[in-house]
Structure 1
Amino acid sequence: MGIDDARLDERLRLKENTTQSLGDRVYEVLRDAIVAEQLEPGERVSDKEIAEALGISRTPVREALQRLTWIGLVEVSPSRYTRVTGVSDEMVAGTLEYTGLQAGLALRLAVRRMDGAELAEAVALLDVMIEASDRDAHDELKQAAREFIAYLSRRSGNAVLSRVMVEMAPVLDRNVRRAHLDVRPIEERADAYRHLREAMLARDADAAEGWLRSVHGGAAA
Structure 2
Amino acid sequence: MSSAFPPLEPRGSVLGDEVYQLLGQAIIDGTLAPGQRLRDQDLAADLGVSRTPVREALQRLEFSGVVEVLPARFTRVSAPTDKSQSDLFELVGYLMGITLHMSLARCDDETHARLVGEADTLVAASLADDYEALIAASIDFFTQLTFASGNTAVLKFMREAQIAIRRNLRAWRPGVACPIHRSDLYQQFRDAVARRDATTGEAVLREIHGLGRAAAETVDG
TM-score, with normalisation over the residues of structure 1? 0.85
| 1:121–1:19 Cα change, 3 Å | farther
Query: Which consecutive residues of structure 1, in runs of 5 or more, have no partner in the other structure?
Result: 1-7
2:150 to 154, 157, 180: 157
The SS at the match of 1:40 is: coil
Cα distance in 1, alignment partners of residues 88 and 149 from structure 2 = 21
Cα distance in 2, alignment partners of residues 97 and 154 from structure 1 = 21
Q: Root-mean-square deviation (CA), in Å? A: 2.2
Moved more, 96-105 or 46-55: 46-55
| 1:183–1:19 Cα change, 3 Å | farther
* Contact 1:13-1:29 within 8 A present in 2 as well: no
After superposition, residues 1-221 of structure 1 pair within 5 angstroms as 8-16=1-9, 18=11, 21-218=14-211
| 1:170–1:207 Cα change, 3 Å | same
Q: How many residues align?
A: 212
Cα distance in 1, alignment partners of residues 171 and 192 from structure 2 = 32
Cα distance in 1, alignment partners of residues 17 and 108 from structure 2 = 33
* Contact 1:104-1:213 within 8 A present in 2 as well: yes
Cα distance in 2, alignment partners of residues 64 and 163 from structure 1 = 16
Q: Deviation digits for residues 123-182 of structure 1, max 9, x if unmatched?
A: 121111112222222221221121111111110121221232243222112123234443
TM-score, with normalisation over the residues of structure 2? 0.85
Deviation at residue 36 of structure 1 after TM alignment: 1.7
Query: Which consecutive residues of structure 2, in runs of 5 or more, have no partner in the other structure?
Result: 213-221
| 1:179–1:194 Cα change, 3 Å | closer
> Structure 1: which 4+ aligned runs deviate by more than 4 Å?
none
Cα distance in 1, alignment partners of residues 189 and 175 from structure 2 = 19
